[in-house]
């Protein structure tokens, strides 16, 4: 029974079929002379029918179609084969420039005289070939970049199957390409990568947020042991086939975390030792202060006793720093509010004026290193001691204020009393106290200003922060 579709095809004018083709079409004799060229060929290669039909293929366009690779394929087909399929030829034409052509040819026999003909279909795939070449260049470039990255890197598809991995991944996790590419990540390495936090990250977090940075995971691997890893994941879009991929960079920070733990342990040990040292210094200063007091009790000269008392107060001022450090559990930094408040209260308590004296404290709470706190405390000790000694003689009541302000690029300390002011003719501590104040202020990089009249005395220390 005849093929109905074939019969229908025979009823269609062949010229109509040829005219509907998108490809260029040539009909050649077996010696490669052009018998027919369709309109698409004439338009694509910018030639006319008169200079094409009846001309040998390699002589077309003043020899522009003298393409050895094309001639070889057609000669081979004439001698040995019936078809040529999907042969690509890259050629430069004088008038239309470079073209990449995909050739499909078929040998036929004309009914009646048995002469052979060649049907040559030519598809212009220049844009497709250039796009493929560009894609290949980009692939090679991206592959080169990935291979130079020191961190292990995985490329996953939307089902979390591994598309590719770089050498750093294979080396770090002691696996090879054959047992990696194409596998789902949770099946990799006999399930060693079936890490719930990782799978949740890739399945739920990354698709929603596009990027995840420095996600820390700790996991034990059979071959390489316990590892701590920082994961950085990014969702990317592949334009060619409209699919998404996941890039997963894995940074092994096991050694870093080990060193950090050792460093923390060393710092903790150093802190304990320094805390013990501070405690011993505090006890030593307390003992020295007690010895000074014992010696003072054996003196009969009032001026000597006063000098010993001032010496004891200076030792106690430094001891107050270490008491504050001990209470705060600190080793090298003290808060100004706790430190200066305690120092002021101790000085007033030891003076015997705690009942009648009103203390005004307005101290900003700032962290101070012991390097700054010691000279600052000694300045406060000298100034408060002087006020207690000279501003309240013959008075049962009075006001003493201590103010510490944190200002732009400087710190200001004010100590003021409401006494009668400084007697310019008086000899205070033989001038030693003022010398100490000036020396400690210089050590702090600051200066001391004094304002004094019949309403009181104010000392202002300004120093950089």
Q: What is the average per-residue pLDDT within 343-351?
A: 82
Q: What is the pLDDT of residues 37-63, one digit of tens each?
A: 888 888 888 888 888 899 998 888 778
Q: In the sheet that 357-363 helps form, which strands lie side by side, from edge to edge?
A: 357-363, 398-407, 410-417, 456-464, 447-453
Q: What is the pLDDT of residues 167-191, one digit of tens each?
A: 888 888 888 888 888 888 888 877 7
Quickly state the pLDDT bin for 242 (edges 50, 70, 90). low
Name the CA radius of gyration of the chain, rounded: 48
d(CA 360, CA 152): 64
Higher pLDDT, 7 or 386: 386
The two three-digit tokens of residue 34, written as one number:
């052009």
Q: Is the pLDDT of residue 220 over 60?
A: yes
Higher pLDDT, 417 or 356: 417
* pLDDT > 90 fraction of the chain, expressed in percent and rounded: 8
Q: What is the average per-residue pLDDT within 340-353?
A: 82
pTM of the model: 0.44
Q: Is the pLDDT of residue 26 over 60?
A: yes
Q: Are 189 and 173 in contact (CB under 8 A)?
A: yes
Beta strands in 277-427 (DSSP E): 333-335, 357-363, 367-369, 398-407, 410-417
Q: What is the average per-residue pLDDT within 206-221?
A: 79
Residues 6+ apart with CB under 8 A from 146: 153, 155, 164, 166
* pLDDT > 70 fraction of the chain, expressed in percent and rounded: 83
Quickly state the pLDDT bin for 115 (edges 50, 70, 90). confident
Q: Are 260 and 268 in contact (CB under 8 A)?
A: no
Largest CA distance in the chain: 152
Q: What is the average per-residue pLDDT within 189-206?
A: 80
The two three-digit tokens of residue 213, written as one number:
């940075």
Please compute, for residue 109, the number of CA atoms within 13 A of its CA located in the half-sphere on the CB side. 5
Q: What is the pLDDT of residues 142-151, one digit of tens each?
A: 666 666 677 8
Helix (H) or strand (E) holding 21: none
Quickly state the pLDDT bin for 461 (edges 50, 70, 90). very high
Higher pLDDT, 290 or 411: 411
Average pLDDT value over all residues in the chain:
80
* Residue in 198, 181, 199, 179 with CA at minimum distance from that of residue 189: 179
Spell out the long-range contacts of 88-91 with Cβ–Cβ below 8 A and sequence spacing 24 or more: 88/125, 88/129, 90/129, 91/67
Query: Hey, how many other C-beta atoms are within 10 angstroms of the C-beta on 407?
Result: 10
Q: Is the pLDDT of residue 12 over 70?
A: no
Dihedral sign computed on CA atoms, order 368, 369, 370, 375: negative
Q: Is the pLDDT of residue 10 over 70?
A: no
Q: Are 444 and 463 in contact (CB under 8 A)?
A: yes
Quickly state the pLDDT bin for 445 (edges 50, 70, 90). very high
Number of helical (H) and strand (E) elements in the chain, helices listed first: 14, 17
pLDDT attached to residue 1: 43
The two three-digit tokens of residue 12, written as one number:
């269609």
Higher pLDDT, 80 or 442: 442
Least confident of 112-121, 174-183, 310-319: 310-319
Q: Is the pLDDT of residue 100 over 60?
A: yes
d(CA 41, CA 47): 8
Dihedral sign computed on CA atoms, order 55, 57, 59, 63: positive
pLDDT attached to residue 225: 84
């Amino acid at each position: 029974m005849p093929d109905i579709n074939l019969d229908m095809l025979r009823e269609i004018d062949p010229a109509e079929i040829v005219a509907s083709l998108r490809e260029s079409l040539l009909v050649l004799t077996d010696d490669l002379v052009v018998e027919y060229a369709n309109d698409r060929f004439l338009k694509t290669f910018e030639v006319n029918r008169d200079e094409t039909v009846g001309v040998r293929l390699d002589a077309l366009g003043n020899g522009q179609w003298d393409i050895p690779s094309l001639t070889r394929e057609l000669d081979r087909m004439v001698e040995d084969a019936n078809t040529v399929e999907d042969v690509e030829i890259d050629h430069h034409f004088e008038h239309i420039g470079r073209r990449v052509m995909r050739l499909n040819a078929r040998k036929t026999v004309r009914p009646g005289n048995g002469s052979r003909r060649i049907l040559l279909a030519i598809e212009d795939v220049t844009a497709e070939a250039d796009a493929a070449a560009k894609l290949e260049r980009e692939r090679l470039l991206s592959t080169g970049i990935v291979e130079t990255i020191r961190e292990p890197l995985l490329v996953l598809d939307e089902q979390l199957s591994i598309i590719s991995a770089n050498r750093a991944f294979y080396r770090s996790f002691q696996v090879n390409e054959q047992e990696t590419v194409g596998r789902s990540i949770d099946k990799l390495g006999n399930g060693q990568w079936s890490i719930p936090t990782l799978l949740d990250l890739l399945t739920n977090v990354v698709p929603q947020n596009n990027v995840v940075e420095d996600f820390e995971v700790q996991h034990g691997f059979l071959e390489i042991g316990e590892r701590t890893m920082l994961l950085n994941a990014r969702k990317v879009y592949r334009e060619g086939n409209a699919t998404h991929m996941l890039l997963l960079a894995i940074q092994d920070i096991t050694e870093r975390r080990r060193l950090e733990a050792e460093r923390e342990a060393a710092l903790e040990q150093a802190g304990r030792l320094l805390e013990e040292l501070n405690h011993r210094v505090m006890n030593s200063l307390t003992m020295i202060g007690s010895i000074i007091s014992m010696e003072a009790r054996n003196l009969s000269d009032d001026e000597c006793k006063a000098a010993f008392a001032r010496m004891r107060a200076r030792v106690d001022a430094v001891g107050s720093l270490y008491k504050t450090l001990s209470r705060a559990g600190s080793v090298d930094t003290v808060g100004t509010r706790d430190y200066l408040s305690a120092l002021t209260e101790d000085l007033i308590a030891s003076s015997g004026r705690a009942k009648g004296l009103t203390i005004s404290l307005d101290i900003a709470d700032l962290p101070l290193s012991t390097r700054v706190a010691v000279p600052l405390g000694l300045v406060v000790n000298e100034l408060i001691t002087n006020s207690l000694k000279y501003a309240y003689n013959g008075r049962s009541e009075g006001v003493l204020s201590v103010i510490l302000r944190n200002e732009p690029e400087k710190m200001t300390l004010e100590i003021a009393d409401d006494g009668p002011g400084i007697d310019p003719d008086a000899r205070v501590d033989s001038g030693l106290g003022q010398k100490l104040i000036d020396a400690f202020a210089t050590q702090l990089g600051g200066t001391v200003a004094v304002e004094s009249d019949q309403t009181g005395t104010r000392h202002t220390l300004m120093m950089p922060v």
